[in-house]
Structure 1
Amino acid sequence: MSALPPGSTIGILGGGQLGRMLALAAARLGLKAHVYTDVPGGACEVAAAATVAPFEDTARIRAFAENVDVVTYEFENVPLQAAAAAELAAPVRPGSKALAVAQDRLEEKTFISGLGIPVAPFAAVDGESSFDAAMCTIGPAGILKTRRLGYDGKGQVRIKSAGELVPAFESLGRAPSVLEGFVPFAFEVSVLVVRALSGETRFYDIPLNTHRNGILDTSTVPSPLPHEHAARAREIAGAIATALDYVGVLGVEMFYVPDGTEPLVVNEIAPRVHNSGHWTMDACLVSQFENHIRAVAGWPLGETDRHSDVTMTNLIGDDVDQWPALAAEAGVALHLYGKPEARPGRKMGHVNRLRPRR
């Protein structure tokens, strides 16, 4: 397929802040965005068009796809039937395989380990009959996570002894889950790989990530990850993207275990632009959002090199009330998502603090 010319329309499934930033990136390239969302969000405010309807309404999804040139998505929990309905009328990039793998933690870990890539020890927990086998595999302590719909620390419970497994499973509504073993990591890193229709891959610099209350707090580049391990991290992310026949930006979250047999252990993947890549909006000529649009539209990929060092800090909940001071602070790029109400745990925006590159 040839590249979509300026004036073409990118369909975006999802109306949150990632969709908003994708729509803005598309506009920079002379492309239009049409957002499909079940709940009006910030993306609707900046897109050329918006459809608000349930994701389960496959007829509306197909009608939406018939009026765009390519479809992408801003979050990994788009129902598979919605992606399939869109695919009847337009190319969907990334494809439904990436959605299917990322939406189920058991499927995800099985897929990645099947590529010979290290993941944390894991075992399925579907009910009482699986408790003993899971504890034998993982040991007395771990993290119980629902197989589906968990994010930003939601849908998971830490357990420190075998006696805590049953109440933890009950607290998750007895949802099909995965018990993961603890990984004694030094810090977390995330690799952002962008893969073109041609199979070409490029990588952004790997940030050092910190978390607060289970939610990403900061991402800083450069990170202290040694060069040889950074190269291995890119190799892992590229292998996953290739195995998924991926098109667009893929986030691969990993634990760094410098003293372990395997220094890099994959935690999870995100088949979309990623919060830990928001720093690219100001520290790179071509952000992760623009490169995602370039990839799904069949354009040449843009440069991923950074021109500055940077720390990205999320503005969560009432943090956004600091906007007057942040707007006045030198060296700070402020990005607000236009959300009307600040709630605990809600991402309201982010700031990028730039420094000369070392």
Structure 2
Amino acid sequence: MSATPILPGPVAGGGRLATLGVMGGGQLGRMFVHAAQALGYQTAVLDPDATSPAGRVSDYHVATAYDDEQGLAQLMQRCEAITTEFENVPAGALATLAAQRPVAPGPQAVAVAQDRIAEKAHFAACARAGGVGPAPHAAIVSPADLAAVPDALLPGILKTARLGYDGKGQVRVADRAALAAAWEQLGRVPCVLEQRLALRDELSVIVARGADGAQVHFPVQRNLHRDGILAVTEVVPGGVSPVLAEQAIAATGAIAAQLRYVGVLCVEFFVVDDGSAEGTLVVNEMAPRPHNSGHYTIDACDVSQFELQVRTLAGLPLPTPRQHSPAIMLNLLGDLWWRDGQPVTPDWAGVLALPGTHLHLYGKHDARPGRKMGHLTITAATAEAAQQTARAAAERLGIAPWR
């Protein structure tokens, strides 16, 4: 990263605005673009989809494959610095960009997040230095690895080492026969087998780290997943044990620091039910980008995760975020546009009549089951009021209740 900040507004000498680029045109890229433009930057998006959500709102859209040499050259010509909105951008493409422009996060950090085996090794190394470790696990790359799996890891969850997200590339296995069958089903690609644990809760922490090592974080988020996809995030006073919150924040900071990470990083944790009052924290996975569980920061904090992404990329100061309102975020999936096999329009008027509701739709034209179409954040003066409004909104949208 450059030691000289990339300041917003007109570049010295005039004629154009400072421009920030993003690899990926999905909703995270779209919200990055909005945050960058609000600060006074122009933006450029590289995404092969001509109708991508971020590409349609950006100043420039380079509609090529992520590893297309001409597309990467166009992006570099346009931009002072470049980030990514999802972890599966080819690390080689980021390396190509990093040879000519500041790139945050860097290709080495993204490469670790792209591979569960490398990711688990990094978590384990951080745990040896006093942090929070991953769940018991084993890497399976060969038939010999499969045969050597310890009995204690079964029953477990077999996960592909690469390209798994939102519950994809995962198979629950009860015994060795099921494990062998699952590895065949996944094409004998490198995998990680994790011991299945009794979970009490799921948490996440979002941290922003600058090139100078300065680091800030948001409050710990409490998450509910359904079918492997985030459904509800709650960030309210008393929602997470102070002991676990302190451990999760410290572990996230260590994971970022030992990677020499620059950018916004989300680390997800499990709270294992071990019979104790607090439970035990284990680290699950990390995302080298803003995260679905941090979308509430747009409406409930004085600086959002996306503004911090802009600031880390541009080398601007990192203020400590302040949450001004208890918040609950509901993920809005394409299922809401269908009922009994027939297309419907969700009751947005009814939802927006509720106090403290903030609707964010991502501009996607086709509502498909399981597709992230938007999110709804509910803010209120108290946790109880936010819960009450969130449950009323969920009922009007047909979202299943939660505890």
Give the TM-score band, short-chain normalised.
Answer: over 0.9
Structure-2 separation of matches of 1:280 and 1:260:
33
AA in 2 matched with 1:126? V
Instruction: State which of 133, 140, 161 in structure 2 corresponds to 1:125.
Output: 140
Structure-2 separation of matches of 1:300 and 1:93:
15
Instruction: State which of 52, 64, 67 in structure 2 corresponds to 1:56.
Output: 67
8 A contact 2:154–2:195 mirrored in 1:
no
8 A contact 2:158–2:192 mirrored in 1:
yes
Q: Tell me whether 1:250 sits opposite 2:265 in the alignment.
A: yes
In the TM superposition, residue 357 of structure 1 has moved relative to its aligned partner by 4.4
Aligned position for 2:213 = 199
Structure 2 alignment gaps of length 5 or more: 9-16, 338-344, 384-403
8 A contact 2:166–2:228 mirrored in 1:
yes
Structure-2 separation of matches of 1:75 and 1:86:
16
1:298-334 Cα distance to aligned partner (Å, 9 max, x none): 1111341100001000001132542343233322000
Structure 1 alignment gaps of length 5 or more: none
Task: Within 5 Å, give how 1:134-283 maps onto structure 2.
Answer: 134=149, 136=150, 138-222=152-236, 224-257=239-272, 259=274, 263-283=280-300
Instruction: State which of 344, 361, 368 in structure 2 corresponds to 1:343.
Output: 368
Residue range with higher mean Cα deviation, 53-62 or 69-78: 53-62
Structure-1 separation of matches of 2:195 and 2:153:
7
SS in 2 for 1:335: strand
In the TM superposition, residue 173 of structure 1 has moved relative to its aligned partner by 2.1
In the TM superposition, residue 39 of structure 1 has moved relative to its aligned partner by 2.0
SS in 1 for 2:109: helix
AA in 1 matched with 2:308? N
Structure-2 separation of matches of 1:272 and 1:71:
12
In the TM superposition, residue 130 of structure 1 has moved relative to its aligned partner by 2.0
SS in 2 for 1:115: helix
Structure-1 separation of matches of 2:45 and 2:250:
33
Residue range with higher mean Cα deviation, 267-276 or 81-90: 81-90
Task: Mark the CA change 1:258 to 1:129 in structure 2 (over 3 Å): closer, same or farther.
Answer: closer
In the TM superposition, residue 259 of structure 1 has moved relative to its aligned partner by 3.5
Structure-1 separation of matches of 2:151 and 2:309:
39
Tell me how large the CA RMSD over aligned residues is.
1.6
SS in 2 for 1:308: coil
Aligned position for 2:378 = 353
Aligned position for 2:387 = none
8 A contact 2:205–2:220 mirrored in 1:
yes
8 A contact 1:76–1:99 mirrored in 2:
yes
Aligned position for 2:21 = 11
Instruction: State which of 31, 44, 49 in structure 2 corresponds to 1:39.
Output: 49
Structure-1 separation of matches of 2:177 and 2:249:
39
Structure-2 separation of matches of 1:260 and 1:75:
37
In the TM superposition, residue 260 of structure 1 has moved relative to its aligned partner by 7.1
User: Which protein shows a greater Rg?
Assistant: 2
Task: Mark the CA change 1:31 to 1:357 in structure 2 (over 3 Å): closer, same or farther.
Answer: farther
In the TM superposition, residue 264 of structure 1 has moved relative to its aligned partner by 1.4
8 A contact 2:22–2:82 mirrored in 1:
yes
In the TM superposition, residue 151 of structure 1 has moved relative to its aligned partner by 0.3
In the TM superposition, residue 120 of structure 1 has moved relative to its aligned partner by 0.7
Structure-2 separation of matches of 1:219 and 1:23:
23
TM-score (norm 1): 0.96
AA in 1 matched with 2:286? I
8 A contact 1:59–1:85 mirrored in 2:
no
Structure-2 separation of matches of 1:289 and 1:343:
26
SS in 2 for 1:180: strand
Number of aligned residue pairs: 357
SS in 1 for 2:284: strand
Structure-1 separation of matches of 2:255 and 2:42:
30
Aligned position for 1:288 = 305
SS in 2 for 1:22: helix
8 A contact 2:153–2:196 mirrored in 1:
no
1:154-202 Cα distance to aligned partner (Å, 9 max, x none): 0000011222012211221222111111122210000001112221111
Structure-2 separation of matches of 1:141 and 1:318:
31
Runs (4+) of structure 1 exceeding 4 A deviation are none
AA in 2 matched with 1:14? G
In the TM superposition, residue 258 of structure 1 has moved relative to its aligned partner by 5.7
Structure-1 separation of matches of 2:227 and 2:154:
24
SS in 1 for 2:335: helix
TM-score (norm 2): 0.85
Structure-2 separation of matches of 1:81 and 1:137:
38
Task: Mark the CA change 1:137 to 1:58 in structure 2 (over 3 Å): closer, same or farther.
Answer: farther
8 A contact 1:62–1:88 mirrored in 2:
no
8 A contact 2:205–2:218 mirrored in 1:
yes
Structure-1 separation of matches of 2:91 and 2:69:
11
Structure-2 separation of matches of 1:193 and 1:91:
20
